[in-house]
Amino acid sequence: MQLNQKTLEYLRELINEKIKYRSGPKLVEFFNAFGFNDTYCKGFPSRWWYIEDKLKQINNTPNLCKCIRNVFAPINFVGEFDKLDSLIADFNKYISFDGWLVVRQDKEIIFVDSTDSFLKRNVDSKITDSENEFLNKEFEDINLKYLNIDSLLQKIITERIEEIKKCMHSKANLSTIFMCGSVLEGLLLSIMIKYPEKFNQADSAQKDSDNKIKPFPKWKLGESIDTACELGFILEDVKKFSHVLRDFRNYIHPCKQKSSRFQPDEHTAKICFQVLKAAICQISDKVESTRPPLKLLS
């Protein structure tokens, strides 16, 4: 099995942070299971560089299949098979370009030819059903006042949401996606700043090469999404579709859009706006429940 660069990059994200955070020593342990004999020591490269280098070395070898099976091993998702199936469905959007699909058969992970039209229809229908279920959820009108964020930022986000509505009305699908991603990133950053201790102490808090927590503005959107879910600010469904929105938002670079042949339609734009509305609703609920009690004046 040989994967293209885009698929390898997504696999790198899964190994590095998307499924769970792996420290440098854990990454060495992970890849040594596929024939390497590395040790973690001073001068160890960045985690993402190390992962990408190892994936390139095992690409088009039997160890690549072993690696993917390890990443999606059902034993690591006991009680969370819905999450596992969702992760596999997302990965299949990439690996299908290489002519393959990953399929979970009960406790086993297998690979099948993506040209199998019957199987592909079944996989696609599961994704579509999941999207439609999410789209059909009803959320109250967007109200930012319950977020208790900076008033100027609230004004900016409110204006951007109105612009999103105009983009959707005009069927400017790509603009809708970029705006939704922008607002979601700004919203999560404002919540991180509002609750610094919670985010800094989370298991998935992002660290630099010196093992220190990164300043919040340097966190990637995917990192913010995962930690917000860990802390309960957003739920699993919004986390899943937020990552989809994040992937779509990255096509703001024309060359990325060209290489992936991404052409968003109205359905995609609606999903992205639904993600944003759901995130605002869920974060508002969490902020309300975590707000400290009012102190009485003596």
Q: What is the dihedral of CA 259, 265, 267, 273, to 10 degrees?
A: 80
pLDDT at 262 over 80: no
User: 249-277 burial by CB neighbour count: b if 16+ within 10 A, else e?
Assistant: bbbeeeeebeeeeeebeeebbbbbbbbbb
7 contacts 97 by C-beta, under 8 angstroms: yes
Q: Is 207 left (phi over 0), alpha (psi -120 to 50) or beta?
A: beta
Which residue is associated with the tokens 């985010």? 199
pLDDT digits (tens, 9 = 90+) for 204-259: 888 888 888 999 999 988 889 999 999 999 988 888 888 888 888 777 778 767 76
50-59, 97-106, 131-140, range with greatest mean pLDDT: 50-59
Structure pTM?
A: 0.56
pLDDT at 6 over 80: yes
Which residue is associated with the tokens 């609606």? 270
| pLDDT score of 17 | 83
| pLDDT score of 28 | 92
Tell me the mean pLDDT in the region 108-129.
Answer: 58
Give me 107's structure tokens: 């406790």
| pLDDT score of 44 | 85
Q: How far apart are CA 24 and CA 223, in angstroms?
A: 17
How distant, in Å, are the alpha carbons of 70, 131, 153, 181, 279 from that of 271?
31, 7, 24, 12, 12
Q: How many CB atoms lie within 10 A of CB 203?
A: 10
| pLDDT score of 227 | 93
pLDDT at 179 over 90: yes
Amino acid occupying residue 71: V
pLDDT band at 47 (very low <50, low <70, confident <90, very high): confident
| pLDDT score of 294 | 41
- How large a percentage of the chain has pLDDT more than 70? 84
204 contacts 21 by C-beta, under 8 angstroms: yes
140/169: higher pLDDT: 169
249 contacts 178 by C-beta, under 8 angstroms: yes
**Taking CA 78 as the corner, what is the angle to CA 77 and CA 79, rounded to the nearest 5 degrees?**
105
